[in-house]
Amino acid sequence: MADDLISLTLFTLSSILIVVDPIGAMLVYHSLTGHMEPQNRKKVAISACRLSTVVLLFFTIFGSSLLALFGITIEAFTIAGGVLLFGIGMEIVYAKTSRARMTEAEKHESIEAEEISSMPLAFPMIAGPGTITTVIVLSKNVSLISEPVRLVIILGSVIMTMTLTYLLLVSSEQFTSRIGQREYRVVSRLMGILLMAIAVQFLINGISTAFPSLIK
């Protein structure tokens, strides 16, 4: 019994951790917030991780029922997330000013920090279609009544993953401070290309699942 619980915990935690990819989120976070003041950077990290945690806990508990209620498929989440992520990758590759970036007036109101923390960091980067899909699949047919221990393990794994993600985000400056500006621009653009590739994969997965006849 104990071995089964350990195996389940390791499988659940590793599944969520891999799909969230805290290191990738850290690089994107640093690319989007490098121009901000330290207090606003920390505000983005806190807000993004808090929002992501709430979203993932919600979908862990109510995801399957909610999607069935509204007739929404996982494929729809995947395609929408792919479109959003592709646009973000394009902006990073071409070093464009994101539409989420602020005017001088907005800077004093921290509007940009709020927008970046919700999109693209919380969604689709951290709590994106892949992560939402993962927690829904892991928690399918699981409840406090049927399998309370398994549900607690899934919820605990989400919280642990989000805690690690937050620690990496707030430490991003230390990780990237040793990289020169030229190297950082190269890494940033490579990260943008990687995001675009992930976005394309999201689209391929979503479309091929929703329209299997297209791949025959």
**Inside any domain, residue 215:** no
- Angle, nearest 10°, between helix axes 74-93 and 181-210? 160
List the domain range (segments joined by +) for residue 119.
2-208
Does the residue 216 lie in any domain?
Answer: no
- In this predicted structure, what is the pLDDT of residue 67? 77
Indicate whether 133 belongs to any domain.
yes
Q: What is the pLDDT of residue 113?
A: 66
What pLDDT shows up at residue 75? 79
pLDDT of residue 184: 63
Q: Which pLDDT value is given to residue 107?
A: 43
Please give the pLDDT value at position 4.
80
Count of domains in the chain? Answer: 1
What is the residue-wise DSSP string for 35-69? TS-HHHHHHHHHHHHHHHHHHHHHHHHHHHHHHHH
Is residue 213 included in any domain, yes or no? no
To 10 degrees, the CA torsion angle through 103, 105, 110, 116? -20
Compute mean pLDDT per 10 residues along the chain, 216 residues long, and list them: 82 87 83 83 93 95 84 78 78 60 40 74 84 84 76 95 95 75 70 79 84 73
Query: Which of the 8 DSSP states describes residue 140?
Result: T
Would you say residue 168 lies in a domain? yes
In a domain, 172, yes or no: yes
User: Rg of the chain over CA atoms, in angstroms?
Assistant: 18
Q: Which of 5, 17, 6, 11 shows the shortest CA–CA distance to 149? A: 5
Q: What is the pTM of this model?
A: 0.69
